[in-house]
Structure 1
Amino acid sequence: MQTAQRNSLKLLQWMMAASLALPLALFAFASAMSWISTSEAADQEIQRTLDVAHEHALKVFETIDRSLAEVTEVIRGMSDADIVAREKGLHARLRVVAEALPQVKSVWVFDANGRALVNSLVSPAPDVDFSDRDYFRIPAERDIGTYIGEVLTPRPPYLGARFFSVGRRRNNEDGSFGGVIQASVLPEYFENFYAKIGREPGSFLALIRTDGAVLAHFPVIDHAVRFEPSGPLGRQIVANPLAGARTLQSPADGIERRMRYQRLAEYPIYVSAGLETAAIRSRWVSTVAQHLIFGIPATALLFGLLALAYRRTQRLEEEASRRIEAEEALRHGQRLEALGQLTGGVAHDFNNLLTVIRASVDMLRRQDLPEPRRQRYIDAISNTVNRAAKLTNQLLAFARRQTLKPEVFDASQNVRTLSEMIATLIGSRIEIAAQVPDESCLVNADAGQFETAIINMAVNARDAMDGVGRLTITVRPVNDLPSATTGPPNPHGHVAVSVIDTGVGIPPELFGRIFEPFYTTKEVGHGTGLGLSQVFGFAKQSGGEVTVTSDVGKGTTFTLYLPRVVGEHSPQSLLAEDAPSVDRANASVLIVEDNAEVGKFAADTLTQLGCTCVLVENATHALEELAVDPSRFDLVFTDVVMPGMSGIELAEEIRRQGLDLPIVLASGYSQVLSQQGSGGFELLQKPYSAEQLARLLHKAARSRRLRRDQAPAG
């Protein structure tokens, strides 16, 4: 007890440490998430600012382009002498153009030698050589369309603010170089606009040429700046030439910023926007500080409460330990009692069955046993095995692993018979109508499970109508399953059984859950949630499908699709207990069974009936046997649940290879079948008898003879 007390006190000590460590961990996690959120919000804010700056710059340059085009049209066809002769009028025209554009400082027309023919500033234009300026040299070398130059300082006698040029080549009528038309653009126009939209602390905006030269910058700087092509931004632009984002240190002021950039249409210009990383961190710190305001007092309070609990636990630990031990003993006893009741009931029933079998076997060993008594003991063993199989099926049903007993029956006739019982079950206030065709609608399924499925859908409809309404059950043959389903194809189509109610309907968001086991929207005590899951499992296991359509407030339609059977068929399964006995036949059977004793029993039984058997332990060996000579076998008899490839997968592989062999599946429980269905193959339920194996032999021999009779002679 002293050890337990020390452990409890040590636990509280750990809890006190955790009361500090856990909030710290949560704070670290919250801080990380807050940083991600703050960074994403900053990126979105940068992108919004970039969109505004990009739209503004695009309009500005398009306006300048239109103005230069207008000047080009004005002087089109004029020689340099004509321009000089009309210099006063053209000066006035250029001045009007410049004054109409607040971003433009002046407009110029140069001759082929770099001399100004006319400008918007003064008239006449001074005789100054501008041929060394980049806005003249580059267009003089080749026609590159609109050229945007670097930021320059006015050349005397001109004064004023710095500018960068937007110009284009002026060609003579013969296509030779005739000069340049140029507009001087004010960087401060962009910087003033950027100051208006970049009001957040740490905002950054820039207009950058593709070679890295900065044309306009906010915050404003008084010296030329260039982002080197070999630098981080240059490499980013090479990798993503249209748009991108990067965190880098600006060469203008050395401040680290989160930047985004975007190419300005066809112009050799990038518009960039950003925020200082220090400003982003400041926002994050502000958010985290709000968590600390509430987190620190809460953590201190929790630590204080744990410290108080630690002191009190020192006095009460012994009593608490005794209480915990007593409660644990009680819970353990309850679990053992529940498990004992279940295992005791199963053991009691099986021991009774084994007692009968053991006593009968002991009596059969006596040499002087009369024949009537010998036969009676044999019958007792057989009946006891059947009772054991039924008990196993009950346990499998409880675990949702029950196997089906398919037989050919008329769904129309079954629905007619069920209608009377359903009318009593759902009450007189619900009108029931059965709409079935006169023709037979034969299906091969478990008739008992079919009736249970119809009743489950009817009861579900009754609850949806709250006991008042109309219930319609229809039966009809259909060629194809609904397009949204994935049921196996059937050459004869399917039989569709629909249960239609006028109830409250099912909301679309619940469609994905209505077939889940134990899911129900009913009140406690009014439904287990197993009814529709039984319908779903039965449909899938029978090779069919179930669908639902609903209109909230108007009703619901459940439709059960089962594979249709055509032609003359016996109303019972070929594997029924009371099927006629068979004679000996010479057939070759490939047995696939991983249980050696079960496989040997099947092989011995079929050998006694005159068969030739090949027993293999898994699907891989079976495929190897078939690869040698598939024609030497008349039947493949395979277990469903085996290590590696299952029996169903083996059957599907045999069909895929195009081998025309009858295939019979054997299964003691149907988890695989519940999930995948039988795929249209015959199913023999374990435990099976020698008589059932004999009937399978008869069917295989008949199929073999039919194939031989239909084969062409020669």
Structure 2
Amino acid sequence: MQRAQRNSLRLLQWMMAASLALPIALFVIAASISYTSTRDVADREIERTLDVVHEHALKVFETIDRSLAELNEVVRALSDDTIRAREPALHRRLKRLSDSLPQLKSAWIFDADGRALVNSLVSPPPEQSFADRNYFYAHIDQSIGTFIGTALTPRLPYQGARFFGVSRRRDSDDGRFIGVIQASVLPEYFESFYARIGSDPGSFFAMGRTDGAMLTHFPRLDHDLRLDPTGPVGREIAARPEHGLITVAWPSDGIERRIGYRRVAGYPIYVSAGLETSAIRARWLATIGQHLVFGLPATALLFLLLALALRRTQQIQAEAAKRREAEEALKHSQRLEALGQLTGGVAHDFNNLLTVIRASVDLLNRPQLTEERRQRYITAIADAVARAAKLTSQLLAFARRQTLKPEVFDVSERMQSLRDMLAPLLGPAIEIAMRLPTEPCLVRADAGQFETALINMATNARDAMQGKGRITFKVEPATTVPDTLADASSQTSANHGFVSVTVSDTGIGIPAARLGRIFEPFFTTKQVGHGTGLGLSQVFGFARQSGGEVTVTSEVGHGSTFSLYLPRVPPELLPQRQAPNTAPAVAGSGMSVLVVEDNIELANFAADGLTELGYSITLVDNATDALAELVLDADRFDVVFSDVVMPGMTGLDLAQAICDRGIDVPIVLTTGYSQALSQDGVAGFELVQKPYSIEELSRVLHRAARIRRVRDGAAE
């Protein structure tokens, strides 16, 4: 006890240390995971924003490109003079176009010398050449499709915001260069769009040409920016020219950002979207801060509670040491009381049985004893032994330590077969009524113990009615076990429900104060000599060991109802009916049996009885010698008969060792009680319960040997 107390104090001390170390370690791990998660979330946001930016830019340029193509179709067959003649109408058309597209500042039609034929700003346009603009001279030497120029400042007399040109070449029918159609696009249109979708702190957007010239930028720059193809951004884009995600210090302001870029399909343009890495870290720190807000107080509280628990434990252990002697004395008294109740009941019944046996033996030793009296005394001894065996069986059943022999049977059929036995047992003044269902109600249980439990409940009902009244037996399916006063805390479930067997009487009933004790061993309200108090305890133990339950309801003056619930099994598990084996002792006919029994008197009894029946017996008193005999020459034995409970190697260990070594000899086990068998069963071996008769033993040995011969014959 003192060692356990020291261990508990040491455990609390370790827990106090762990209450600090573990949260710190968990915080470091969680912070690392959180940072990775925050960065992944930011990358996904950047990718989604980049999708929006790319889609927006693509639609803008496709719209402008389509509008320029339409204008080119309008003036394709017209000469410059004709265009000048129709300038007012064309001016209005260009103005409507620029007004309908918010991204456009103006639209222009130039001749081959760079002079404006028509524009959307003024009519008529002044005589001024724009041949030096990149959106014009890029088309002179060759047809390059749609050209997107760099950012420009309007030329006097025109004023307003900066723009970049999007232009297409005008060709004559024979392919000669005859001018340019151009649209002036406002960078601020993109910037206002970026401002709407980039509301998060640290948001970044840019759009530029493939040569590194920036067309628009958010946040806005005060100067033009051209990215160096050999710089960090240029190298990253060159490595993955279509799209990518990079972390760089942006050349314009030196701020480190996480940036995603993508080339606009069909155009020499890149769009990009990103977040400042400081903004990503701020998100992470905000998340970690939330953890700390709850984690720090919780850790401090846990440490404080453990410190208080350590102190309280020390105080409790000190107080427990002072009370230990008194508690030990009280426990000793309680154990003596329980032991006295148990041994008193067992001693009373066994003394009665031993008295019958002793008196019968004394009378058998008298001279000149008639055959009739000798047979009567032998029968009395046999009956006393049977009652003693039944008493032991009831005790083991209550303790849930009896080795049951479960089998599948129909409860209704078993009840019907018991009716003839119940009638003389209950007496002529008791009316028996049975209500049995038409459907089969199958259970897997020990049939003998089931009959004993039913008889015990019927006998209890008979005594409650003082031998006169009505007992109703009812069998029906049930889904669950109801809560009752018998055991309100115990509820058992089964896959296929339960089979309920109720025994109802019209007796005096049971007072509510006694309902909680009726299943206790040796508890009885009957007069001395009229009952042991083990009948209902056998029912309780059998029900629990079979996976079921027994409940009781009662009303004083109106009788009682006992309900036995057993787990139900499906009908397909019912075995084929076989004729009962009623044969007497089977002659040995030279069959060789290895008997393993540490009790020499019992061993001699079994050996003498089997020898008289013609069996050849080899007797050993321990499992180790038996295994040595089998290893030496197993073929000389037809069957092994072994006790289970023996010093050292048990009979069950011996049986397992025989199987593990591949020794082909049948094994029959015997026991009066075994903890191992009560928990794990007989593991597929034949079992003979003590006390047994020579007749029963001979039949089991003969059956085991016959099964071996049949198996060997089939193998041949």
**TM-score normalised by length of structure 2:** 0.51
Match of 2:594 among 572, 575, 591: 591
Secondary structure of residue in 2 paired with 1:148: strand
- The answer to whether the Cα contact below 8 Å between 1:90 and 1:118 also exists between their aligned partners in 2 is no
Pairwise mapping of residues 509-524 of structure 1 onto structure 2 (< 5 A)?
510-511=491-492, 523-524=515-516
1: CA distance, partners of 2:219 / 2:327? 98
Match of 1:637 among 641, 660, 682: 641
The answer for the alignment partner of 1:64 in structure 2 is 50
Q: Which amino acid aligns with 1:606?
A: L
1:149 aligns with 2:146: no
Match of 2:673 among 637, 662, 669: 669
2: CA distance, partners of 1:539 / 1:680? 23
Give, in angstroms, the shift of residue 139 of structure 1.
0.8
1:452 aligns with 2:448: no
2: CA distance, partners of 1:564 / 1:646? 30
1:602 aligns with 2:585: no
- The answer to whether the Cα contact below 8 Å between 1:591 and 1:599 also exists between their aligned partners in 2 is no
2: CA distance, partners of 1:345 / 1:699? 39
Q: Which amino acid aligns with 2:238?
A: A
Distance 1:610 1:331, change over 3 A: closer
Tell me the number of residue pairs that the alignment of Structure 1 and Structure 2 aligns.
Answer: 535
Secondary structure of residue in 2 paired with 1:143: coil
The answer for the alignment partner of 1:126 in structure 2 is 224
Distance 1:500 1:587, change over 3 A: farther
- The answer to whether the Cα contact below 8 Å between 2:422 and 2:455 also exists between their aligned partners in 1 is no
- The answer to whether the Cα contact below 8 Å between 2:54 and 2:262 also exists between their aligned partners in 1 is no
Give, in angstroms, the shift of residue 566 of structure 1.
2.2
Give, in angstroms, the shift of residue 144 of structure 1.
6.8
What per-residue deviation string (whole Å, max 9, x for no partner) do you get for residues 508-535 of structure 1? 97216999xxxx9985345449989845
Distance 1:424 1:170, change over 3 A: farther
1:650 aligns with 2:642: no
The answer for the alignment partner of 1:102 in structure 2 is 199
What per-residue deviation string (whole Å, max 9, x for no partner) do you get for residues 172-214 of structure 1? 97x9xx675444645566577678x56xxx829xxxxxxxxxx
1:164 aligns with 2:257: yes
Give, in angstroms, the shift of residue 37 of structure 1.
9.6
Q: Which amino acid aligns with 1:110?
A: R
Q: Which amino acid aligns with 1:450?
A: E
Match of 2:299 among 266, 284, 288: 284
Secondary structure of residue in 2 paired with 1:131: coil
The answer for the alignment partner of 2:414 in structure 1 is 411
1: CA distance, partners of 2:544 / 2:307? 57
The answer for the alignment partner of 1:82 in structure 2 is 148
Identity %: 21
1:611 aligns with 2:612: no
Give, in angstroms, the shift of residue 617 of structure 1.
5.2
- The answer to whether the Cα contact below 8 Å between 1:590 and 1:614 also exists between their aligned partners in 2 is yes
The answer for the alignment partner of 2:187 in structure 1 is 91
- The answer to whether the Cα contact below 8 Å between 2:668 and 2:686 also exists between their aligned partners in 1 is yes
2: CA distance, partners of 1:299 / 1:685? 51
Secondary structure of residue in 1 paired with 2:436: strand
Secondary structure of residue in 1 paired with 2:589: coil
2: CA distance, partners of 1:679 / 1:395? 23
Extract unaligned runs of 5+ from structure 2. 66-143, 151-163, 167-183, 500-511, 522-533, 552-562
- The answer to whether the Cα contact below 8 Å between 2:634 and 2:663 also exists between their aligned partners in 1 is no
What per-residue deviation string (whole Å, max 9, x for no partner) do you get for residues 253-278 of structure 1? xxxxxxxxxxxxxxxxxxxxx759xx
Give, in angstroms, the shift of residue 336 of structure 1.
9.8
Distance 1:33 1:625, change over 3 A: same
Secondary structure of residue in 1 paired with 2:243: coil
Q: Which amino acid aligns with 2:416?
A: Q
What per-residue deviation string (whole Å, max 9, x for no partner) do you get for residues 532-580 of structure 1? 9845865899xxx666899xxxx9964577975724436xx55xxxx4x
Secondary structure of residue in 1 paired with 2:224: coil
The answer for the alignment partner of 1:566 in structure 2 is 577
Q: Which amino acid aligns with 1:510?
A: Q
Give, in angstroms, the shift of residue 79 of structure 1.
7.2
The answer for the alignment partner of 1:229 in structure 2 is none
2: CA distance, partners of 1:672 / 1:657? 23
The answer for the alignment partner of 2:176 in structure 1 is none
Distance 1:171 1:106, change over 3 A: closer
Distance 1:458 1:355, change over 3 A: closer
Q: Which amino acid aligns with 1:142?
A: R
Pairwise mapping of residues 40-51 of structure 1 onto structure 2 (< 5 A)?
none
Give, in angstroms, the shift of residue 137 of structure 1.
1.9
2: CA distance, partners of 1:443 / 1:65? 68
Give, in angstroms, the shift of residue 32 of structure 1.
5.8
Deviates more, 1:682-691 or 1:339-348: 339-348
1: CA distance, partners of 2:25 / 2:389? 61
The alignment's C-alpha RMSD in Å is 7.1
Secondary structure of residue in 2 paired with 1:147: strand
- The answer to whether the Cα contact below 8 Å between 2:548 and 2:566 also exists between their aligned partners in 1 is yes
2: CA distance, partners of 1:682 / 1:25? 52
2: CA distance, partners of 1:286 / 1:442? 55
Q: Which amino acid aligns with 2:590?
A: A
Q: Which amino acid aligns with 1:637?
A: F
Secondary structure of residue in 2 paired with 1:150: strand
Give, in angstroms, the shift of residue 138 of structure 1.
1.1
What per-residue deviation string (whole Å, max 9, x for no partner) do you get for residues 382-423 of structure 1? 965874674465356335466789999972533434787999
- The answer to whether the Cα contact below 8 Å between 1:68 and 1:183 also exists between their aligned partners in 2 is no
Distance 1:347 1:605, change over 3 A: closer
The answer for the alignment partner of 2:122 in structure 1 is none
Give, in angstroms, the shift of residue 140 of structure 1.
1.6
2: CA distance, partners of 1:286 / 1:370? 90
The answer for the alignment partner of 2:153 in structure 1 is none
2: CA distance, partners of 1:669 / 1:450? 21
Distance 1:521 1:79, change over 3 A: farther
1: CA distance, partners of 2:23 / 2:37? 20
1: CA distance, partners of 2:275 / 2:335? 88
What per-residue deviation string (whole Å, max 9, x for no partner) do you get for residues 10-49 of structure 1? xxxx9xxx9xx99998985885686589779979997899
Distance 1:153 1:507, change over 3 A: farther
Distance 1:386 1:123, change over 3 A: closer
- The answer to whether the Cα contact below 8 Å between 2:261 and 2:272 also exists between their aligned partners in 1 is yes
- The answer to whether the Cα contact below 8 Å between 2:46 and 2:259 also exists between their aligned partners in 1 is no
1: CA distance, partners of 2:296 / 2:422? 74
Distance 1:65 1:403, change over 3 A: closer
Give, in angstroms, the shift of residue 166 of structure 1.
2.1
Secondary structure of residue in 2 paired with 1:146: strand
Q: Which amino acid aligns with 2:671?
A: S
Give, in angstroms, the shift of residue 109 of structure 1.
0.5
**TM-score normalised by length of structure 1:** 0.51
The answer for the alignment partner of 1:472 in structure 2 is 474
2: CA distance, partners of 1:180 / 1:501? 72
Give, in angstroms, the shift of residue 89 of structure 1.
0.5
2: CA distance, partners of 1:501 / 1:23? 42
Extract unaligned runs of 5+ from structure 1. 1-13, 156-160, 205-273, 307-312, 314-320, 364-368, 475-497
Secondary structure of residue in 2 paired with 1:511: coil
2: CA distance, partners of 1:504 / 1:332? 31
What per-residue deviation string (whole Å, max 9, x for no partner) do you get for residues 496-519 of structure 1? xx689997689997216999xxxx
1: CA distance, partners of 2:541 / 2:605? 32
The answer for the alignment partner of 1:398 in structure 2 is 395
Give, in angstroms, the shift of residue 672 of structure 1.
5.0
1: CA distance, partners of 2:446 / 2:337? 42
- The answer to whether the Cα contact below 8 Å between 1:203 and 1:275 also exists between their aligned partners in 2 is yes
